[in-house]
Structure 1
Amino acid sequence: MRNASGFGYPIQYDIAKGVDNYTLVWEQDKTPCRQPILDAAKRLENMGCRAIAAECGYFAYFQKDVADYVDVPVFMSSLLQVPFIQQLIGPKKSVGIVCAQKRFLTPTHLENVGIDLNSNFHIAGAQDEYGCPQFDTLWDHEKRPEIPESYYDESEKDMIRICTEFVSKYPDIGAIMLECTGMQPYARAIQREIDLPIFSWGTLLDYAYSVINHREYYGHI
């Protein structure tokens, strides 16, 4: 997802210096991440970016901070879509949130993107609950080799298995929310298997672009 050619619209990147997977996800004290993230967001705004997004779903922790710091729309996490999805599927069904590591997705992350902790959702940890070795080699600092690598076909099998087991465990799931940006490439394969609406970082970015650069309408109106 770091490749801008994966999107059908212009992408500008900036790096939040000093923020990595360990400091953002694993560390309990996330205070050191705050200012570098705000600085990166401001640089993007100053470049002329019309909307700001972040690559990892755990940036949800800083949604309110960044939205208050810049004057353009902010989409820090795919999890922003959860309250919206809940309205789409109704109160009798639940949103199935598939995240990288369940143990690190705290109530603060959820509340900062508007998720009611007592509402209709379930959470599955792809790595720490169901097992996803291909993701471990990329994002688990305890298991990541010196030269990390991951195989697409194996990752796809893992993601299909995880989501299939997840919806079997919770039959009331009416839609899947893929928290991790690394899960997005497998969304179509997952959907073919479980036949449910799939939301991801990609659907969030598509929405973000549509609201800051609305399309024209042609023909008879």
Structure 2
Amino acid sequence: MTSQNPRSLGILSLEYGLLPGAMSATPEQSSMLYPAPYDFPIITETVEGAWADTVIRGDPALEPACLAAAKSLVERGAVVISADCGFFIRHQAAVAAAMNVPVVLSSLLLVPTLLRELPRAAKLAVVTADSTNCGEDLLGVNDPADRARVVVGGIEGGKLLRNALVRPPIPTDVADIEKEVSACIARLRAAHPEIAAILFECTAFPLVAPAIRRSTGLPIYDITDLRRLTLASVS
């Protein structure tokens, strides 16, 4: 089927459920998931079975559903495929291999590039919703010296992750997200004063990126930057 807006940003969506108060996978209803405007319309496709806990933890059985959802998005007019959870990066290779459009499922794809932007003595902080599930295999860095320059911190145990893991998930106030992310960054910087840039894994974090940039004075990157870059390549 051809979309009425044939050139679109396609988003692989988590399961959000349909109960009252649940986070919606519809961009018009969820500024948390789509906080930044794009020059392209957004279309979404739910990945069957992709509840937040399943995606964050990692489940190879989700791969066929990811491929089916991505195929549907392309058929509907997506010219770039992304996702609304950075932990979908586990399916990046499979989806990219199967699609004929650029695929950028996670901001974690930027880790190797950002390391090359920084001085060798500097470190990159990756701030994630759950650092216990953000292992070395997701960072795309093989060189031990480069890996030592990446520090990972998470907000596990906080309101945002607790709310996201409920079925269906419930929204979290932006003020609570900012508080949790700020506290995580403060801990990381205290332990690693060499941090010179920050990468947000979680797709909710762009909501607070402007405030965190002001408070830290550091460059901050997130999934919206990667999407804009990729969309610009096909415009």
TM-score clears 0.5: yes
Equivalent pair of 1:177/1:199 in contact (CA under 8 Å): yes
Alignment partner, residue 142 of structure 2? 116
How many residues of Structure 1 are paired with residues of Structure 2 in the alignment?
A: 201
Q: 1:192 aligns with which of 198, 210, 214?
A: 214
Equivalent pair of 2:155/2:161 in contact (CA under 8 Å): no
Q: How does 1:139-150 map to 2 (within 5 A)?
A: 139=164, 141=165, 144=166, 148-150=170-172
Q: 1:138 aligns with which of 139, 163, 168?
A: 163
Please give the per-residue CA displacement for 1:64-102, whole angstroms capped at 9, x wherever unaligned. Answer: 111101111100111011111111113211110001111
Post-superposition, which runs of at least 4 consecutive aligned residues in structure 1 deviate over 3 A?
144-147
SS at the partner of 2:188? helix
Separation in 2, partners of 1:200, 1:206: 10
Alignment partner, residue 61 of structure 2? 32
Task: Decide whether aligned partners of structure 1 residues 148 and 95 sit closer, same or farther in structure 2, where only a CA change above 3 A counts.
Answer: same
Alignment partner, residue 43 of structure 2? 12
| Residue type at the aligned position of 1:13 | T
Alignment partner, residue 74 of structure 1? 103
Structure showing the higher strand proportion among its residues: 2
Equivalent pair of 2:153/2:188 in contact (CA under 8 Å): yes
The reply on whether 1:95 has 2:120 as its aligned counterpart is no
Question: 1:117, CA displacement in angstroms?
Answer: 5.8
Equivalent pair of 1:175/1:197 in contact (CA under 8 Å): yes
Please give the per-residue CA displacement for 1:130-171, whole angstroms capped at 9, x wherever unaligned. Answer: x53x213322x3xx4877342222221222222122112111
Separation in 1, partners of 2:116, 2:163: 34
Please give the per-residue CA displacement for 1:38-72, whole angstroms capped at 9, x wherever unaligned. Answer: 11111111122111001111111111111101111
Aligned-residue CA RMSD in angstroms? 2.0
Alignment partner, residue 180 of structure 1? 202
Separation in 2, partners of 1:16, 1:147: 15
Percent of pairs with identical residues: 25
Highest RCO, 1 vs 2 (Cα 8 Å, sep ≥ 6) = 2
Structure 1 residue runs of 5 or longer lacking an equivalent are 214-221
Separation in 1, partners of 2:153, 2:80: 29
Structure 2 residue runs of 5 or longer lacking an equivalent are 1-24, 29-33
TM-score (ref. length: structure 1): 0.83
SS at the partner of 2:47? coil
The reply on whether 1:51 has 2:80 as its aligned counterpart is yes
Alignment partner, residue 27 of structure 2? 3
Question: 1:184, CA displacement in angstroms?
Answer: 1.1
The reply on whether 1:23 has 2:48 as its aligned counterpart is no
TM-score (ref. length: structure 2): 0.79
Structure showing the higher helix proportion among its residues: 1
Separation in 2, partners of 1:49, 1:146: 27
Separation in 2, partners of 1:3, 1:47: 16
Task: Decide whether aligned partners of structure 1 residues 105 and 2 sit closer, same or farther in structure 2, where only a CA change above 3 A counts.
Answer: farther
Equivalent pair of 2:206/2:222 in contact (CA under 8 Å): yes
Alignment partner, residue 8 of structure 2? none
Equivalent pair of 1:137/1:145 in contact (CA under 8 Å): no
SS at the partner of 1:12? strand
Separation in 2, partners of 1:103, 1:158: 16
